[in-house]
Structure formats: C-alpha cells, structure tokens
Amino acid sequence: MPITAIDPPAQTPVNFHTSLIENPPEFRTRRDAASSAPAIGHHRFLVAALALLALFLCGFGPPTLLDSDLPTAQGLTVGQLRQMEQAGRPPESISAQAVLVYDLDADRVLIESNAGTGRPPASLTKLMTALLILERGGLDQRVVVEQEDLVGEATMGLVRGELLTAEELLWGLLVPSGNDAALALARHHSGQLHLFVQRMNLRAQELGLAQTHFVNPNGFDAAGQSSSAQDLLVLTRLLWEYPLFRQIVGTASAQVAGHPLISTNQLLGTYPGANGVKTGTTTAAGQSLIAGIDRNGHQLFVIVLGSQERYFDARALIAAADNSFAWANLSVGPRLTGLDRLYDGEQKRWFVRAEGETSALFLPTWERQQVRPYRRLQLPPPGLWSAGASAGVLEWRMGERVVATQRLVLYLP
C-alpha cells in the first residue's frame, strides 16, 4: 500500500482590489489577530499527525505494505511476440509427416503436427510388445528359441534351440530392435502369434488408442498396421514407469546372453541428455523415432514419424522447443533493502526473507518476464518475534494468478 502525501488545502484566489473594499485595513488587522492562534495550532496538529502516520507505516505496516497489490504489466518485445506466434509449430525445415514434442514433468505438449493421424509405426510396434511382457512379469522365465522366430532384417542374432530369459529377450527387442526377439516373446506370452496380436489390440482398446491397430508384434509393413504420435506417446509414458525399460532403452551397447547388442538410436552418446527410447524404419513408414531427452532433470519426448532424416528433425524440434519453453527457478536472490526491514514493538530491527526455493515453474519464454514477486506480510503478535518465525508469504504472480509461493520468515542480520 503506497503512502500518499496529503497536500494542504488550495488557497482561494484573492482579488486585491475587492479585498480592500470589503475588508478595510482596520477590520482586517483585528480579524487576523483574533484568528492567528487557532490556525497555527491546526497546522502543528496536522504536521504531527502526518509524522506519526509515517513512523507507524515504516515501523510496522499493514499486511500488504511492502508491495503493490497487482504488479505492473510488462509489455512484450518484438522478439517475444515472434516467439509466441511461432510456438507450437514445427520448423519448416523438417521432413517428418507427423511430430509431437512433450514435456513429461509439465504434462504439456509443446509442438505437434498431425499427431493424431494414423501411420505405419514400423518397429515402434515393439513398444506394445514390450509393455505386454513387462505387465505380465516373470522376466526370469526361460524361453527356447524356435525356427519360426528367426525372421530377417534387424535381429538379436538368436539361433534355434537357444535358451534365454524373457528379460534377456527384452534387451534384444529394444536395443538392436530384434525381430527374432519379438516373435520369441510373443510366442512365450500367448503360445501362438495370432493370440498375442489379439492381446496387443485388446490392450490398445483398453488404453483408448484410437488410431492404433496391430497385425504383427515386430512392426513389419502390413495392411492395417497403424498408430499415431499421440497413441505412441501414451505407450511411451506407460513404459517409462518401468526402471528396467528406461535402463534398456538408454543403453547404447551391451553384451547379453553372449550376443553383442548395438542400439539403433544414434542419439545415445552423441546428443546431450539423450536417454532413449526407440527407432523404426520400413518402406511404408519411412524413418521414425521416439527420442527421450533429459533437459536439466526434466524429461522430454520427441516423436518423429514418416521422416527422411529423423535425427535432423529431432534436433530441430528440440531446438524449437528450447526456444519457446523453459523451466525457471524463481528467486528474489540475496538482497537487503529498506523494504526488507521491520521493527517490533520495542523498536528492535528485524529483516524478512523468503525461505527455501520454489518448485521449478514451466513457462513459455515470453511469459517468464511477466512473473513478479509480491510479499504478503502476516507478522507475529508483539512479544513473539523470533528468528525463523513466520512473517507471511511471498507470492509469485503472473497478473492476478499466483503461480508459486514461498514462506517468509524473520531473521536478524
């Protein structure tokens, strides 16, 4: 609450000639002498009242003394307006037919295009295969490799009669995208391949994956095999809850059951923060990728479908997201000003400060400068002031909306 100065009453303009006629000198002298003492007393009282009010406000103050109730709105720069206009749209330089960028911690889609359109998923199909195996459990159960499992293209390198655990086959499924591991796991789970595919489609329905339908467990091109970026994000989020899944898809290379495995995800080890998850490539699907990126402790997923150069597209999408959105740690920083100073009933000087840190706040970059701190004081009763005592709350506001809070406490310098 700002302190408003009280101006003295305005003097009524005086017409000199009229004053002389209406108030002859002899009458004015007698009247002025009679009224001078009360006027002086009135002015002295007014000055004393103002001084007392100023002292009271500086020493104690009402709960909202320290800051204006609503922060002044900040205008956007030309650059910020351009960021706002471009946010949510993929860069024009990418070739992907469908994209989606999602921040897991903020639970927010940052960029998308054709994300709800069904497309051939290629080996991203194996995410549903992995989900069914993980949900069933029993990963230490052993599986005998049969001849019918040994299909071509990407493989784990299995041989007929080999004995592996379901967990070892999961490594072969997700690291080198082994088609042989996919068929072995499907047969192990349901006994027959077509029964496993039925279970895949039933699980897709249970999850509400409207654009998803499976014909096989490995992702070979087939009429009717389809999924969308939105549906694949649902699968990825479910799988990300399994520590074993995160470990496997974040591994660039491994030796499992005597088989050297090299990840098909070329971002691992080459792009800062890359920590998964899966690639897919077929003639009908083109190049596909779900990339997991750790951004300063926050998880980002980038989904690229139908691309001609998936890694270029992924990098461009990450850069676009970084340019438009960011996590911010709100802090007033170390400071000591007159606004932090308070006095108790004994005129002992105290200071007030925010305790701890706010949770990181996810904001578009053009909104970051709109966030302002506002201190709402709720001081202890007289006689109960002590170091660490609660003194109110620091509100971080964007306009009238409170987006974060911190506890205010008293302390001695």
Q: What pLDDT, in 10s, does the model give residues 128-187?
A: 999 999 999 999 999 999 999 999 889 999 999 999 999 999 999 999 999 999 999 999
Say if residue 262 is in the same domain as residue 152.
yes
343 domain residue, yes or no: yes
Residues 226-267: tens digit of each pLDDT? 999 999 999 999 999 999 999 999 999 999 999 999 999 999
- Do 313 and 338 share a structural domain? no
Return mean pLDDT, the chain: 82
With respect to residue 85, please indicate whether it lies within any of the assigned structural domains: no
The reply to whether 170 and 222 lie within a common domain is yes
Q: Are residues 336 and 319 in the same domain?
A: no
Residue 142 shares a structural domain with residue 25: no
Phi/psi region, residue 195 (left: phi>0; alpha: psi -120 to 50; beta: rest), is alpha
**Residue 100 pLDDT exceeds 50:** yes
Same domain, 32 and 98: no
Q: How many domains does the chain have?
A: 3
Residues in the chain: 413
Is residue 129 within 8 A of residue 218, CB to CB? The reply is yes
Q: Out of 95, 113, 123, 324, which one is annotated catalytic?
A: 123
pLDDT at res. 82: 63
Q: Is residue 82 domain-resident?
A: no
Decide if 68 is catalytic.
no
Cβ neighbours of 165 (radius 10 Å): 16
Q: Is residue 1 part of a domain?
A: yes
Q: Using a cut of 0.75, tell me whether the model's pTM lies above it.
A: no
Residue 182 lies in a domain: yes
Same domain as 34, residue 137? no
In the residue annotation, 228 being an active-site residue is answered as: no
Residue 217 falls inside a structural domain: yes
- Choose the catalytic residue: 177, 226, 228, 263: 177
278 is catalytic: no
- Examine the domain organization and report whether 166 and 278 are in the same domain: yes
The CATH code of the domain that includes 406 is 2.60.410
Q: What is the pLDDT of residues 326-378, one digit of tens each?
A: 887 777 766 656 567 888 888 888 888 888 776 678 878 777 777 888 888 88
CA–CA gap between residue 174 and residue 261 (Å, rounded): 10
Residues 369 and 251 reside in one and the same domain: no
Same domain, 112 and 197: yes
* Domain with 195 in it: 90-324
User: From its phi and psi, is residue 345 left (phi > 0), alpha (psi between -120 and 50) or beta?
Assistant: alpha
Shared domain for 338 and 319, answered yes or no, is: no
| Mean per-residue pLDDT, 384-407 | 87
Phi and psi at 192, nearest 5°, equal -130, 150
The last residue of a domain, from among 324, 349, 380: 324
Q: Indicate whether 17 pLDDT > 90.
A: no
Residue of 126, 227, 228, 307 marked catalytic: 126
- For CA atoms 122, 126, 132, 135, the dihedral sign is negative
Residue 111's pLDDT band (cuts 50, 70, 90): very high
- pLDDT tens, position by position, 32-77: 444 444 545 555 555 455 444 444 444 333 333 445 444 455 555 6
